[in-house]
Structure 1
């Protein structure tokens, strides 16, 4: 069988400045793919359909990875539901349709584990999609991502277009968003505990009860999974058209908070505000299909947390130097 991608391919990574996109670029370069195409938002607004079409006509990529998305945590999703639905639908529709119509040979669409029902059987298999109601706090983002998955499936079914999708679990690592209100749980905890340790606070209060279970994947592992899928995975028409990406291991938010506290050097007490939402009670992915193909995550959470806290602090020091 001919190689699914080669070093000669012109690979466009949409969203290359984001956490996932930048990790995918790093993984592609490590694997010997140096012919990468990128475009900042100032250079290409993916919500502008005609602009996307012009860019593709000019640069003529042969392989595309769609990692661009509007993302955020529970509060951001609750506050801006229309933004999360509209912006993600525009990005996905513009890019995926243009990729297909412009003759691109292979597309990888990056989804999210939030596509699955709130009370899906655990660990969550790919065939759980659309079998129950979504988690209300992020259903807008989830609906957009489900639409992207199904558009890729529809193009493969109707037109034989080579589109595949990966569904990563919760990501963390270089390039994460540490905004005090609009970030995901792990970067939010890193910032909160770091600042508390710096101030010498006696306690930190975290949202919810601490009982929900979550799975976390270092973003560099995701990058490696994307390269692996591009190189090796070609599903048949009757096979699963998207795959979960994760570690297959979860822990409680309380255990996560304790691990982050230790990694940041915080020695005070941790309190829990049960009036705040917990979100989905458990979200652990079944990663057996990707494992059967030959890929598994390699970065343990303890090592990933240590590296991520160090990178976060290095970033703060660089900001201080620039100021």
Structure 2
């Protein structure tokens, strides 16, 4: 990765691996995240056992990837809440917030604060998941440690005041509420599977098997898949791919992630024009998340949808803070 340095009024920002190591604050393990992420991966691995498999469970997982991942994370957390790419009615905002919580990617305020900080310092040491440290750090390592400069109080005060002004979104900061929603949706999946089996005349053993199958596939496999899509945008899309715009960081458009992450992989386009609700700027850059927002617009659930202010070939641009 190219070396460089950006100097601000109060700090010098490092952009090489050696400087990053020297400037790195003391870190300690974040055991809650380590245990939680490990647990989800272990349960998701049960999908390899035939007992938990059914094509219905696979279809539910695919549908859940769209509802909880594309709508919850991409549409709501990212393009709506962080970047204000469109407007939406309050009741629909609340529904999307709950869908996002079920993706287990932290609270709305924390997700927004981390992402806005990323845009401000993209690929420099203050970037929470800078790939300058390493690919593994950018992908998941940063989540597994407590970083002194990433305390909730510090980053909320600077990056998420607008989110916390909303009473409902602020209530989701309560860990009992946050974790309660996550655990409750496990039981919704299990109850739906077991209940349907019993109503259809199945036995108790069959109900148990199908209910557990929906939980393994519809919750854990789906969540792990969405995690790695989101994490790969932070890592892969800052290391490999092509660039439509000469931004002042290392963002890339990655074709694979453009497809698997429903448009989030067109990351260079996004860094060049953060507020735009559309990340695919060329005809072949498929952006399912943007199409979803447009569908919401037709349904009266989204308006003032922000379109790109730039186009490929328009010359050099600078990364803009995502405020």
Q: Same fold (TM over 0.5)?
A: no
- Asked which structure has the greater RCO (Cα within 8 Å, sep 6+), the reply is 2
**Under a length normalisation based on structure 2, what TM-score does the superposition of the two structures give?**
0.29
More strand by share: 1
**Under a length normalisation based on structure 1, what TM-score does the superposition of the two structures give?**
0.29
More helix by share: 2
